[in-house]
Amino acid sequence: MDLIDTLVEKGLRRESPTRDEALAVLATSDDELLDVVAGAGRVRRKWFGRRVKLNYLVNLKSGLCPEDCSYCSQRLGSKAEILKYTWLKPEDASKAAAAGVAGGAKRVCLVASGRGPTDRDIDRVTRTIEAIKEENERVEVCACLGLLSDGQAERLRAAGVDAYNHNLNTSEATYGDITTTHTYADRQETVRLAQGAGLSACSGLIAGMGESDADLVDVVFALRAMDVDSVPVNFLIPFEGTPLAEEWNLTPQRALRILAMVRFVHPDAEVRLAGGREIHLRTLQPLALHLVNSIFLGDYLTSEGQEGKADLDMIADAGFEVEGADTTTLPAHRVRSAAGCGGGTCEPCGDARADDAPEPAADETGAARTDLVAVRRRGAGTDLPPNA
């Protein structure tokens, strides 16, 4: 395919595709899909080899968020029957993080629901980081605490945070359709504050909310313009009890095209396969490893993910290897000496679980698979051991 050959050549030079080329990737047929994956895979291997970075989520505070993000099970007015609890004690958060590190995670992502942290919350997170670093001194830490105020990013960096996550989620044109309690510009400003403090900036998107191809391309190009280090790609989990519960718009093939498009636009950035992979990619998850270089290990914020051992087996069986703690994630030309890390992500939105039930004989866009969504009932905030 002339299109894919062109995009591969551009990706190997770190050159951006045009907007029309990105749209064309999303418009390719199923017959062309393996060619698309192979082409984007060449770009992925150029900058990241066959390494897969493992990240582990710790939900420090779950539910009861005052924001009205339509996609989120923790939103204001959510009727999703998720775990709800206030701030974990530092020792409990450290225990949860240690389970992820023992399972192979290089980075721990600390997430808290809410509009944004107070200064007292920053103090809490600082004590939590101290407890985590005492047990695992070399682990990378990413924080995702919502909208930041002046000076808070600097405090987080001083506390030992390596990266900050705050996703743009969708295009600026449609942002008001999914959230009214804050703006697209608010999110952009938080990413800029993190970058200004020397933190590695992580910001991504959620696909499957009813957006158009143009919306997907717009947000992916907006992230490139902001020069973020890590781009998490979430696939909507239509939680019952949320406004988007009926939005089952994705197929495994569609999800792969979206990941390929993101890789072509962000050839040398960390592309993270985030929430929803088990539900929407299902048995095609291994193909996605040819496009992304980073995934979450185990469970998500409010739902259960694929078993940790299954994640490790999938990586090995597909011919990839887990990225070691001594390896810098990003290519040398992208590493910011101030941040000293490789980029990461953890956003309280995408959630998923791989179900043991057999796949249906045929998959149709819009067919609800609520049997694949399982609320998290283990790990942080419970008495049960975590999935790692």
Catalytic position from the list 44, 157, 272, 277: 272
CATH number for the domain that contains residue 275: 3.20.20.70
Q: pLDDT band at 231, cuts 50/70/90?
A: very high
* Angle made by CA atoms 12, 258, 362, in degrees to the nearest 5: 135
Question: Mean per-residue pLDDT for 117-134?
Answer: 97
Q: pLDDT band at 352, cuts 50/70/90?
A: very low
Catalytic position from the list 75, 124, 142, 353: 142
Q: pLDDT band at 368, cuts 50/70/90?
A: low
Active site residue 72: yes
Active site residue 124: no
Catalytic position from the list 44, 75, 107, 109: 109
Q: pLDDT tens, 136-187?
A: 999 999 999 999 999 999 999 999 999 999 999 999 999 999 999 999 999 9
Residue 359: the pLDDT is: 37
Active site residue 144: no
Q: What is the DSSP string of 101-115?
A: HHTT-SEEEEEE-SS
The three-state secondary structure class of 258 is: helix
Q: Would 374 be classed as within a structural domain?
A: no
Q: Would 332 be classed as within a structural domain?
A: yes
Q: Would 382 be classed as within a structural domain?
A: no
Residue that is written with structure tokens 């629901």 in the block:
113
Q: pLDDT tens, 233-249?
A: 999 999 988 999 999 99
Active site residue 272: yes
Active site residue 120: no
Catalytic position from the list 72, 341, 346, 349: 72
Give the total number of structural domains in the chain.
1
Q: Would 365 be classed as within a structural domain?
A: no
133 and 94 in contact (C-beta within 8 Å)?
Answer: no
Q: Would 283 be classed as within a structural domain?
A: yes
Q: pLDDT tens, 369-384?
A: 666 777 777 777 787 7
Residue 340: the pLDDT is: 41
What distance in Å separates the CA atoms of residue 370 and residue 363, rounded to the nearest whole number? 14
The DSSP call for residue 145 is -
Q: Would 366 be classed as within a structural domain?
A: no
The three-state secondary structure class of 200 is: strand
Q: pLDDT band at 300, cuts 50/70/90?
A: confident
Active site residue 115: no
What distance in Å separates the CA atoms of residue 385 and residue 388, rounded to the nearest whole number? 9
264 and 323 in contact (C-beta within 8 Å)?
Answer: no
Q: Would 368 be classed as within a structural domain?
A: no
pLDDT exceeds cutoff 50 at 343: no
Tell me which residue range forms the domain holding 180: 2-355
Q: Would 385 be classed as within a structural domain?
A: no
pLDDT above 70 covers a percentage of the chain that reads 90
Active site residue 69: yes
Q: How many CB atoms within 10 Å of residue 5?
A: 11
